[in-house]
Amino acid sequence: MATEERNPQISRRRFLTWGAAIAASAGLAPLLAAGCGGSAAPAATAAPTKAPAAASTSAPAAGAATSQPAVAPTYTLKFTHHEPANSKFAVAIDKWANEVNQKTGGKVKIQTYPAETLAKGTDAFPAVQNGIADMGWVIVAFFPGRFPLTEAYSMPVLGVKSSSTGAQALWDLYSQNQEVQKEWSAVHLVGFTSSGPQFIATSKKPVRTMDDVKGLKLRVAGFGGTALFKNLGASPINMAPPDFYDSLSKGVLDGIVFDWQGINSSRLYEVLNYASTMPVIMQPQAVIMNSAKWNSLPPDIQKVITDLGGKYLGKLVGTEAFDAADAEGVDNFKKLNKEIITFSADEQKKWSDAAKPVWKDWVASVQGKGDGQKALDQLVAAIADEQK
């Protein structure tokens, strides 16, 4: 202290130094300097600002607001059928499925399961009804008595010329007849398809006249064909298409009443040698959807499927699968040196005359289940109208 008293300037200098240090620690250095008569020190260079934290990629907490647009839900529908994956039917139904996908903006994907990989053809209806499959292709003849009025289409020698026109006549019948609609009320009916014209094809014995079918073990499906061939002395057998090849090759069957699409897709031409190509019967078929699944779809998607169902679906599958297969089947059979048999006009009339009692018997068989005569009359009129 003695030194400070002798030299007040040094004391004042130390005081300022201590004060500056204290002020700096409190962030008051500029004020102190100014208050002490000194000029303010230049501001220190600011530290770099940290970059903003990256936006979190985690999902927002429940209830938290988000500005991101909502993603439209998508739907995958499982579709079962029994045809081989390379068949014309499989190709046609895949094309239809792609159209549904495109028209819904990718919201619906129909995943097809061919060749009974999801459900057997004979189980297709309950598989869809019970939700094992979302959609499926149903052959009406596989379920005798389940769709009695729809079976009007299986009456023999109805005069249907092609699959595509037949499918549209079937849709006309459904649209006009509430009893037919009721038969399908357990599921959502998307549309009908039709077999191609089915004819007699045999392995060993050719069928040139009506009498030639006597004693033959023929695969026939549906009320109409079964009744007709029983009346003619054949032994009709109802069997699913995947079993045809082995049954023909082993002699369990002598022949089949089938169309070219099925013969081609299952390579049945390898075990058949004769084709009597007069159209004898047609088979009604349907594309259906599980009711709960249908009801879960939003209205805009239902509209797309509806617009692409009905007559549109029947025409697409008929034209690209069954009708396209007819000419190819005949050509292939000839190339393999198999015989194509054409009935004379007189022989065709005999078959037509033999069919009429079957129509009458069918009408009687559905009494109590619906008005069979009305359904048959409506169907015959629809066929004529579609084939104008």
Q: If you search the block for the tokens 């000419």, which residue do you land on?
A: 327
Whether pLDDT at 41 is above 50: no
Whether pLDDT at 5 is above 50: no
Whether pLDDT at 224 is above 60: yes
Cα(173)–Cα(152) distance, rounded to whole angstroms?
10
Q: How far is CA 62 from the centre of its chain?
A: 36
Whether pLDDT at 139 is above 90: yes
Whether pLDDT at 301 is above 50: yes
Residues with Cβ within 8 Å of residue 341, at least 6 apart in sequence: 206, 207, 208, 274, 275, 276, 277
* Range 39-63 average pLDDT: 38
**pLDDT, greater one: 333 or 39:** 333
Would you place residue 332 in the very low, low, confident or very high pLDDT band (cuts 50, 70, 90)? very high
Would you place residue 67 in the very low, low, confident or very high pLDDT band (cuts 50, 70, 90)? low
Backbone angles phi, psi at 106, to 5 degrees: 85, 5
Lowest model confidence (mean pLDDT) among 2-6, 218-222, 230-234, 243-247: 2-6
Whether pLDDT at 29 is above 80: no
**pLDDT, greater one: 45 or 207:** 207
* Range 165-178 average pLDDT: 98
Residues with Cβ within 8 Å of residue 374, at least 6 apart in sequence: 177
* Range 153-171 average pLDDT: 98
Task: Report in angstroms the alpha-carbon separations of 317 from 77, 90, 132, 197, 221.
Answer: 19, 9, 24, 14, 21
Element (H, E) at 327: helix 324-335
* Range 61-78 average pLDDT: 68
Would you place residue 69 in the very low, low, confident or very high pLDDT band (cuts 50, 70, 90)? low
Would you place residue 72 in the very low, low, confident or very high pLDDT band (cuts 50, 70, 90)? confident
pLDDT number for residue 31: 34
pLDDT number for residue 70: 65
Using only the alpha carbons of the chain, give its radius of gyration: 40
Average pLDDT over the chain, rounded to whole? 87
pLDDT number for residue 44: 37
* Range 176-198 average pLDDT: 98
Q: What whole-number percentage of the chain has pLDDT above 90?
A: 81
3-state helix, strand, coil in the chain (%, to 5): 50, 15, 35
Domain boundaries, given as residue ranges, for the chain = 75-194+284-335
Tell me the residue type at 201: A
pLDDT number for residue 73: 83
* Range 111-122 average pLDDT: 98
Lowest model confidence (mean pLDDT) among 66-70, 144-148, 176-180: 66-70
| CATH placement of domain 75-194+284-335 | 3.40.190.170
Write the Ramachandran bin of 145: left for phi over 0, alpha for psi from -120 to 50, otherwise beta. Answer: left
- Six-digit token string for 322: 């069954």
Whether pLDDT at 240 is above 50: yes
DSSP string, 71-87: PPP-EEEEEE--S-TTS
* Range 41-59 average pLDDT: 37
Would you place residue 46 in the very low, low, confident or very high pLDDT band (cuts 50, 70, 90)? very low
Q: pLDDT tens across 338-388, in order?
A: 999 999 999 999 999 999 999 999 999 999 999 999 999 999 999 999 999
Whether pLDDT at 102 is above 60: yes
Whether pLDDT at 106 is above 70: yes
pLDDT number for residue 159: 96
Beta strands, E only, the chain: 75-80, 108-113, 135-139, 188-194, 198-202, 217-219, 235-237, 255-258, 274-281, 284-289, 339-341
